[in-house]
Structure 1
Amino acid sequence: MSSINGGGKTYSDSDRADTPTRKRGPKRRVSRFKGLGFLIGFLGLFFFVNWWMHSRLNHPDLGANLTDSFTNSTPSLVFKEDLRNITKVNKPTKTAFGRLLKLAAHALAEGQNKPEPKGLWEEPHALASNWKPCAEERDWEPSEGNNGYIMFTANGGLNQQRVAVCNAVAVARLLNATLVLPKFMYSSVWRDVSQFGDIYQEEHFINYLKPDIHIVKELPEELRSLDLDAIDSVITDEDIMKEARPSFYRKNILPILLRNKVLHFVGFGNRLAFDPVPFELQRLRCRCNFYALQFVPKIQKAGSVILQRIRQNSSYGGLLDSYLVGPYAQKMKGKNASKVPKYLSLHLRFEIDMVAHSLCEFGGGEEEKKELEAYRQIHFPALTVLTKSEKLPSPADLRSEGLCPLTPEEAVLMLAALGFNRKTHIFLAGAQIYGGPSRLTSLMSLYPHLVTKENLLSPSELEPFKNFSSQLAALDFIGCTASTAFAMTDSGSQLSALVSGYRMYFGGGQMPTIRPNKRRLADIFLKNSTIEWKVFEQRVRKAVRQTKRVHRRPTARSIYRHPRCKECMCLLE
């Protein structure tokens, strides 16, 4: 078991006092009973006031109980049949943070009416606002696409598919090919049959990119009957190295296209490098991500309902609403962003796939180990082989290096230390948290205004998206991207990367993102049994503040995550 899961202690053990056993007289006995009655009455009043506060703080229009929503919501991951009988960890797990959570609750109760720390909801505006979107600018002629046709089928969930689409658009332009409207691969994990047109507006996608590439909805009739496998026109991820350079495509892929006039990329994902790439080609990828991909009206409408309800039916809209929900956006009156009700969005990347792949431990003991190993055997067989053949770092070492996803308990401690008070409205992306509803007890207790899309939409409003994980993920994307502040718990998450990049591109330096330095936080959390709350606050705030610096995109890093670069954004001197 990791050391971070073993050092906690609770007040109930350390504060227990032994009762003297000497004989007492009648007067002392009456006095004792009076004191006991006063204590019982005080505790009763305390619990009543606490219950009343919880009921008042909850939004009146949220619908079903939050715990039920986590239990009954559509899972973000669907397990194979033989895993259903294995996945049973759905009960409270041991936590090393009992002491810190009590201190956090006390600090939030004391600070209920105190002002929040300065800059909590802000970016370093003076620097961030100097970057302006300019990916719409074009400096080339449209591609004729006469070298042949490119089809591609993207794998993964919504966010992996989005990246794949933008990369495929760039490859089609690079090879002077006509792009056939993208298709999405059916996954045995996600089990979502949604296609491109179920999520994004096809006509807008085709027309917006017309000055860049030629896009058609299907292959010409004379090419449909071709056996692409027989003529070696099927290209898989195994045929292309990860983040291949444009020169690779010109040398190895273009000759096949010219010979056969059609190519099919299957499982096409992160197969185009970010550097070195020609300026205009890089800009095309940004243009596709930020402008060409607009959600279909069904998703936009439901997304607008989520935004309206999380903002308590305010008549003021958010800065990014028009980009996310189009004609359903609530218009900002006088562009006064200060009047838009604030809310924090939180992407808690703690689903079973992340937890299992991390090789970390999370307080569930032997039952947890067996369950995660069973999941790895089915979904990550190569990782299972590696764990048996190689000596890998221990769970404690992984945690100390910041390689474990933050648990819900660690996430709520981070938010409390940063200074978000109990009145903060929080939109939580996703609902299939590993460990079930009990794992969210601390988060829900300290922040009673926490909601999900399942709370904000009625069953009838949610019904059209049921069993379509990618469409549900699109609603989370809208809820997170439009928020006043966005907090992630794992910077490697594709959703967090795309949301933070979108906010950076369109936010004008007014939409901060909280990116925890997990290595620094791990060192702080290791002192959970001794560290004082004030010191904990100071260290967490310093660790997070250092990640909010405004900088250019680092070389070879994703332009979707880091759009502050000359290809995507213009820096005003």
Structure 2
Amino acid sequence: MCLLCTCLFIFNLWFVCSAPDESRGYLLVHTNGGLNQMRAGICDMVAVARIINATLVVPELDKRSFWQDTSNFSDVFDEDHFINALANDVKVIKKLPKDLSSATKVVMHFRSWSGLEYYRDEIASLWEEFQVIRAAKSDSRLANNHLPPDIQKLRCRACYKALRFSPKIEAMGKLLVDRMRAYGPFIALHLRYEKDMLAFSGCTHGLSDVEAEELRTIRENTAYWKIKDINATEQRSRGYCPLTPTEVGIFLTGLGYPSNTPIYIAAGEIYGGDTHMADLRSRYPILMSKEKLASVEELEPFTNHASQMAALDYIVSVESDVFIPSYSGNMARAVEGHRRFLGHRKTISPDRKALVRLFDKIEKGLLMEGRKVSNRISEIHKKLQGSPRRRRGPVSGTKGMDRFRSEEAFYVNPLPDCLCKRVSENVNASTASMR
């Protein structure tokens, strides 16, 4: 990619919108999900506010999700910067005016993946009766594709310019990056081998019967997780399970990373702790995390706040030399998109379905680790390293909501809407291998 072209295009990106039209009312937003699900939802609601000519009240963060985080918007994000950075696009205020606190509000579950017409016609018509519209959820409320260029660029401005983390999180994140850099070029590994992920997905490969039963109980007792009965073997064979720490070790070795490669573990508490991390640690001894890089006292302001701890991992992951997610969840998708926006920094996305076939052969003794396995792993992932490409459309043959659901999400790959369209065969230096 032409780096100069990228820089000029991004510079222009910040200044393409005309001033917002006169506000017709106020948009309240209740976000839902974890940090990265909320991030995408907030950015979409910025665009929705512009479309329906609303004044956006600083969104409320989800305090009822699995993590039960009590953080407010200003605890996680730089609130003043958010308001000022969007001043030319959308009017944003911290609180609803007092004279409207008792006004009748319409609570709306905006239709998923909706386009311009839905918001300009159906939602904007509510201003005739109400002064305040409340969005009950924020995730996936806006279409990924077929929106006007100015709206797509606004989504990028909101996500990559306006929605900056709070100063204390940014400072701590930078400190963690600097401390990782002291070990040399490093991989950020989003190791999604946490209790909640395994319980939700029903993945039990490599776990004991006791551990598998504990996860099944969690899934049964979590009311809003709709799928309860899961065939773990089938789930894994279809590529729907996060890689285990042992599998990650085989994968990294197969890609050719030497044992002295520094690795930052971007994750919460790994299920089973040292028991399940032993094999990965034997291959790659320089395994670091925020808890190892910083003292208890340094991390104390963020402890017990899942969104703030996740924000620290997000910063290190975006700034790493290579980012590798073991599962394509919200964090993995958000980081991949951000790294693409910053110049297609190297992101290796494991083909879990293909890898499971190799891992099973190794486990059964039908295949030995070595050059043959390495060549196969490298070949599979040759085109899965974050190189420039257009955002994928819907899966062929899908219809209705499934069609929109199957599209690659806007924040996973903002090309070409928010990046330079001129792409060369040679990926620029920022995406080069650290090896």
- For residues 395 and 312 of structure 1, the distance between their equivalents in structure 2, rounded to whole angstroms, comes to 40
Partner in structure 1 of residue 250 of structure 2: 413
Checking the alignment, whether the CA contact within 8 Å between 2:32 and 2:38 is kept in structure 1 is yes
Partner in structure 1 of residue 334 of structure 2: 498
1:227, distance to aligned residue in structure 2 (A): 4.4
- For residues 383 and 2 of structure 2, the distance between their equivalents in structure 1, rounded to whole angstroms, comes to 15
Letter in 1 for 2:361: K
Checking the alignment, whether the CA contact within 8 Å between 1:144 and 1:214 is kept in structure 2 is no
- For residues 435 and 145 of structure 1, the distance between their equivalents in structure 2, rounded to whole angstroms, comes to 55
Unaligned runs of 5+ in 1: 1-125, 314-340
1:129, distance to aligned residue in structure 2 (A): 8.7
Question: Normalised by the size of structure 1, how large is the TM-score?
Answer: 0.67
Letter in 2 for 1:297: P
Checking the alignment, whether the CA contact within 8 Å between 1:209 and 1:288 is kept in structure 2 is yes
Partner in structure 2 of residue 423 of structure 1: 260
Partner in structure 1 of residue 164 of structure 2: 294
- For residues 243 and 355 of structure 2, the distance between their equivalents in structure 1, rounded to whole angstroms, comes to 9
Structure 2 residue aligned with 1:518, among 327, 338, 352? 352
- For residues 462 and 310 of structure 1, the distance between their equivalents in structure 2, rounded to whole angstroms, comes to 16
Structure 2 residue aligned with 1:560, among 407, 411, 418? 411
> Which fold has the larger relative contact order, with Cα–Cα distance below 8 Å and residues 6 or more apart in sequence?
1
Checking the alignment, whether the CA contact within 8 Å between 2:2 and 2:422 is kept in structure 1 is no
Residue 139 of structure 2: SS of its match in structure 1?
coil
Letter in 2 for 1:262: V
CA deviation vs aligned residue, 1:7-31 (integer Å, no higher than 9, x gap): xxxxxxxxxxxxxxxxxxxxxxxxx
Checking the alignment, whether the CA contact within 8 Å between 1:127 and 1:550 is kept in structure 2 is no
1:304, distance to aligned residue in structure 2 (A): 1.6
Residue 361 of structure 2: SS of its match in structure 1?
coil
Unaligned runs of 5+ in 2: 394-406, 424-435
Alignment of 1:408-557 (within 5 A): 408-491=245-328, 493-506=329-342, 508-509=343-344, 511-528=345-362, 529-532=365-368, 533-548=370-385, 549-555=387-393, 556-557=407-408
Checking the alignment, whether the CA contact within 8 Å between 1:408 and 1:439 is kept in structure 2 is yes
**Greater C-alpha radius of gyration:** 1
- For residues 195 and 392 of structure 2, the distance between their equivalents in structure 1, rounded to whole angstroms, comes to 31
Larger mean CA deviation between 411-420 and 361-370 belongs to 361-370
Residue 431 of structure 1: SS of its match in structure 2?
coil
Checking the alignment, whether the CA contact within 8 Å between 2:110 and 2:135 is kept in structure 1 is no
Residue 275 of structure 1: SS of its match in structure 2?
coil
Checking the alignment, whether the CA contact within 8 Å between 1:192 and 1:467 is kept in structure 2 is yes
Partner in structure 2 of residue 570 of structure 1: 420
Partner in structure 1 of residue 177 of structure 2: 307
Task: Count residues in correspondence.
Answer: 404
Residue 150 of structure 1: SS of its match in structure 2?
strand
Structure 1 residue aligned with 2:107, among 229, 234, 240? 234
Partner in structure 2 of residue 190 of structure 1: 67
CA deviation vs aligned residue, 1:291-341 (integer Å, no higher than 9, x gap): 11111211111112111211228xxxxxxxxxxxxxxxxxxxxxxxxxxx3
Letter in 2 for 1:184: L
1:160, distance to aligned residue in structure 2 (A): 1.0
CA deviation vs aligned residue, 1:506-528 (integer Å, no higher than 9, x gap): 1x34x211101111111211211
- For residues 164 and 39 of structure 2, the distance between their equivalents in structure 1, rounded to whole angstroms, comes to 11
1:141, distance to aligned residue in structure 2 (A): 1.7
Checking the alignment, whether the CA contact within 8 Å between 1:150 and 1:262 is kept in structure 2 is yes
1:158, distance to aligned residue in structure 2 (A): 1.1
Letter in 2 for 1:201: D
1:424, distance to aligned residue in structure 2 (A): 0.7
- For residues 129 and 557 of structure 1, the distance between their equivalents in structure 2, rounded to whole angstroms, comes to 27
Question: Normalised by the size of structure 2, how large is the TM-score?
Answer: 0.88
Alignment of 1:103-252 (within 5 A): 131=6, 134=10, 136-187=13-64, 189-228=66-105, 233-235=106-108, 239-252=109-122
Judged with a 3 Å threshold, the aligned counterparts in structure 2 of structure 1 residues 380 and 517 are, in CA distance, closer, same or farther, namely: farther
CA deviation vs aligned residue, 1:161-197 (integer Å, no higher than 9, x gap): 1111101000000101111111112125212111111
Checking the alignment, whether the CA contact within 8 Å between 1:306 and 1:479 is kept in structure 2 is yes
CA deviation vs aligned residue, 1:453-491 (integer Å, no higher than 9, x gap): 001111111111111111111110111111111111112
- For residues 139 and 465 of structure 1, the distance between their equivalents in structure 2, rounded to whole angstroms, comes to 37
- For residues 523 and 267 of structure 1, the distance between their equivalents in structure 2, rounded to whole angstroms, comes to 39
Checking the alignment, whether the CA contact within 8 Å between 2:104 and 2:130 is kept in structure 1 is no
Partner in structure 2 of residue 345 of structure 1: 188
Partner in structure 1 of residue 136 of structure 2: 266
Alignment of 1:309-388 (within 5 A): 309-312=179-182, 341-380=184-223, 383-384=226-227, 387=229
Structure 2 residue aligned with 1:256, among 126, 150, 163? 126
Q: Give runs of ≥4 in structure 1 deviating > 4 Å.
A: 126-133
Partner in structure 2 of residue 98 of structure 1: none
CA deviation vs aligned residue, 1:243-282 (integer Å, no higher than 9, x gap): 1222222333222233111111123222111122111111
Residue identity over aligned pairs, in percent, reads 34
- For residues 125 and 5 of structure 2, the distance between their equivalents in structure 1, rounded to whole angstroms, comes to 44
CA deviation vs aligned residue, 1:336-371 (integer Å, no higher than 9, x gap): xxxxx3111100111222212223332334323321
Kindly report the root-mean-square deviation, in angstroms, between the aligned alpha carbons of the 2 structures.
2.1
Residue 149 of structure 1: SS of its match in structure 2?
strand
Partner in structure 1 of residue 146 of structure 2: 276
CA deviation vs aligned residue, 1:170-225 (integer Å, no higher than 9, x gap): 00001011111111121252121111111111111111111111111111221112
Judged with a 3 Å threshold, the aligned counterparts in structure 2 of structure 1 residues 382 and 494 are, in CA distance, closer, same or farther, namely: closer
1:418, distance to aligned residue in structure 2 (A): 0.7
